[in-house]
Amino acid sequence: MSTDTSYPHNLKKVRKKQFSRLQDGLFLDHAGSTLYAASQIQSFSKDLQENLYGNPHSGNPSSDITKAIVHQVRCTVLTHFNVTLDDYDIVFCPGSTDALKMVGQYLSWNKGDSFVYLEDNHTSIVGIRELAFEKGSKSYCLTLPRPCSKKSSITPFTLSHYNMQSIKIPQFSQNGSSHDKSLNLFAYSAQSNFSGCRYPLNWIDDVQKNGLPQVEDQETACENKWLVLLDAAAFVSTSKLDLKAHPADFVCISFYKMFGFPTGIGALLVKKESCKYLSRKVYFGGGTANGYLAQSDYFKPREILHERLEDGSLNFLDIIALKYGFDALKKICGPIASVQEHTFALTQRLYRGFQEMRHANGQPVFKIYSHSNFDSRVTQGPIVTFNVTRDDGSYVGFNHVVHLASSRNIHLRAGCFCNVGACSAHLALDPQQLQHVYESGHVCGDSVDLVEGYPVGAVRASLGYMSTQDDVDQFLAFLRECFVQTTTINEIFYDALSEPERQQTDEIVLEKITLYPVKSCQGLDVDEWQISDTGLKYDRNWMVVNEYGVCLTLKRHTKLTQIYPHIDLKRSKLVLRAKGHGSIEVPLDCSRSDSDHVTADFCHTKVCGDRIVGLDCGPVASQWLTQVLGENASLVRKLPDARRQSKRKNGVAQSNGAHEHHLALTNEAQYLLLSRGSLQRIITAMARSDAPEKDEKRMDTDSIAARFRSNFIITGAGAFAEEAWKSISIKTSEGRVTFQCVGLCNRCSMVCIDQATGQRSIEPLRTLGTLPPSEHIVSEVQKIPSKRRNHFGVYLRGSNNVCTVRVGSHVTPVQEESKVKI
């Protein structure tokens, strides 16, 4: 085979044939899950269609075939790691987390034994300390002294450099072990899922022979038994693990991180000599007993470890699928060493691109979190973890980076990646401060990314075997376009201030009213409209769901911009129109008897992830939507009596039962208000910024306003004055109606979608992220002024009074005495 047709030189053809779904996007989250090849799925599907597989416990012909294949797959897995069934047993389980939990649950812990783990470990390893504590064993965390820089003589690759920190010490284990020799477990990751740091595999042999002197004196360490648990899930996705050379006692594997599919199967590899230490299993399930009696307390377990630990019927079809994963990996890449060479070369290219990128004033664009200079594949895996900094040194929130990336269909991961230890160490987060943030309500995956101006997480870009140089270069081009500043922040901001604009006048007027009858579809502008106890009447009362009952949102389905709703009050109809598809009508009001119930998740987030029950509007609407959107879809109306609780009260996210203000299908609040003066400020800043797309610089205020999807637009207020308001009242014929201001709207990549065309861009989110917030803004978690802006628009909560608001009505604001919460 010539060089030009071998891996990785053949990747252009491979990508086209095996990964065509990557044509319009960049996938840089291989540390989360790599991608499956098309041939892998096709071969597995063909196998299932042509062969009959039965439960391996049944003992019939189809069962015997399944049992034989499962045995062969065990051999294939072990061969991949250069060992056989004579060296290791392999226990199949749902994933690497379950493999780790098995060790913690079944290890023969005793009083006085020790569990030791590195600070840089996945949550699933750290959680073992609870199981050790339950059995009376001690837990310790090994940490590096602070600060530990790349130039420091203290490195993460030498165990003696670590300090021991007691974490959980049961009182009854203070006096040492209850048996002559203690049993100790040391757990670490071959590759950090946070930074890609690769820890020495020779630690395995060192600890097994010599123990850890930080935990006990050297004489005692040699007498006691030390076992090593290796988390290899991240490492083996792109590298060869030779268990013959580095025989860890326990090794956890996640197959979807190796070849993308199946996702429901992992493995615990157990060295044969160490099987005896997994003896604390209490429960016995189907297939794990050689014999037992129901009428008396008799149970005889299976002799082979995997037969004792694999409760119930195996996930045998997914195990069969593993064969095709290994086949695809071998056919596409050849030796796994080729994958390591290729991915490391790409990682170096990405890292150097980061290093070279500078703002106009010479300041770096990125803060990279690593213990190395990416000069050796031995110490660094295919991960670059970073935060973006502005030219004044302030940080860009990682959520803002990910939102902008999403607007370009770039797939990243942000946060701490289930590795709080490495996250807090690299970001120099004080544990007490971090605990306070958690106690204040912050949870992993929410909108909090900066505390007191400093990040509480990072952005991770990770590469896989099918990643290419073009992927790296396109990602670097995106970062350069979005974050390298040729105009300083102050110039953008103060130039925007100097532009002539409408300042605060004596009268603030309601200029525009918009409702969105169908969630994520076009808005309907009205001159006057009735308000209800959930917001504008009929606002977001319908949604479009796919064949699985999941709500389609504009962020993922931009064709929703083609659908224009209209409310015909006289005929009591909702009319939907789309160019080239005519129109359909459905009743405005319906009862439970009018249609079948459907249940759908309308939003898959921790903030607005309520479940709702709605009414399917029928096959005519479904057929029409399917034609317009090009995928199976149905129209669902919320039940008239259905009430969801508002997510916000006075700027604070609320838990269930906190108050009685209700929502229809909106995400967080009943109403959203924008100011014309604030919109103009953003337009001015965009024109002054480095926006590369000329058409974006020429966006008019109405085009920008449509992207923010507000219910009310006011005119006459100064730029961002609304962010300091406690409430507003709007004059109506029924009297003044009051709306409470309950927080600011955090913005995501949704605002990068042109509401007229459905096309994506990076504006106005890019410019929004360069503007400093108003001085009166304070984060509920931070308690001090925020260092950046990713919010725009004010959430409102109305009263339950039924009245009608009209365009041209006078608006009276009430100033907030304290700082506004976001």
Catalytically active residues are 418
Q: What is the DSSP letter of 457?
A: S
- What's the burial of 380, exposed, middle or buried (CB within 10 Å: 0-12/13-18/19+)? buried
Between strands 528-532 and 535-536, the pairing is antiparallel
Sign of the CA dihedral running 309, 312, 316, 322: negative
Separation CA 316–CA 306 (nearest Å) = 14
Separation CA 134–CA 52 (nearest Å) = 45
Scanning the structure block, which residue is given the tokens 């060869």?
240
Helix extents (H) in 409-488: 420-426, 431-439, 469-483
**How far from 373 is each of 369, 381, 579, CA to CA, in Å?**
10, 12, 55
Separation CA 760–CA 20 (nearest Å) = 21
Contacts of 45 (CB under 8 A, 6+ apart): none
Separation CA 605–CA 622 (nearest Å) = 26
Separation CA 667–CA 660 (nearest Å) = 16
Chain centroid to Cα 727, Å, comes to: 35
Element (H, E) at 736: strand 735-746
Scanning the structure block, which residue is given the tokens 């919460």?
821
Separation CA 337–CA 318 (nearest Å) = 26
What is the chain's Cα-based Rg?
30
Helix extents (H) in 211-335: 218-223, 256-259, 305-309, 316-333
Task: Using DSSP, state whether 258 is helix, strand or coil.
Answer: helix
Q: Are 110 and 177 in contact (CB under 8 A)?
A: yes
Chain centroid to Cα 753, Å, comes to: 21
Q: Which of 237, 111, 125 is nearest to 178 (CA)?
A: 111
Token pair of 436 as six digits: 């306070």
Asked if the peptide bond before residue 813 counts as cis, ω within 30 degrees of 0, the response is no
Residues shown for the chain: 822
- What's the burial of 502, exposed, middle or buried (CB within 10 Å: 0-12/13-18/19+)? middle
Contacts of 77 (CB under 8 A, 6+ apart): 90, 253, 267, 269, 322, 326
DSSP 9-28: TTHHHHHHHH-GGGTT-EE-
Percent of the chain that is helix, strand, coil (3-state, to 5): 30, 25, 45
Chain centroid to Cα 549, Å, comes to: 22
Contacts of 439 (CB under 8 A, 6+ apart): none
Q: What is the DSSP letter of 791?
A: E
**How far from 7 is each of 14, 71, 152, 514, 663, CA to CA, in Å?**
9, 30, 38, 55, 54
Token pair of 358 as six digits: 């500078």
Q: Which of 232, 226, 215, 276 is nearest to 77 (CA)?
A: 232
Separation CA 332–CA 8 (nearest Å) = 9
Element (H, E) at 663: strand 662-663
Chain centroid to Cα 769, Å, comes to: 21
Scanning the structure block, which residue is given the tokens 């302030």?
394
User: How crowded is the C-beta side of 188, counted as CA atoms within 13 Å?
Assistant: 26
Task: Using DSSP, state whether 222 is helix, strand or coil.
Answer: helix
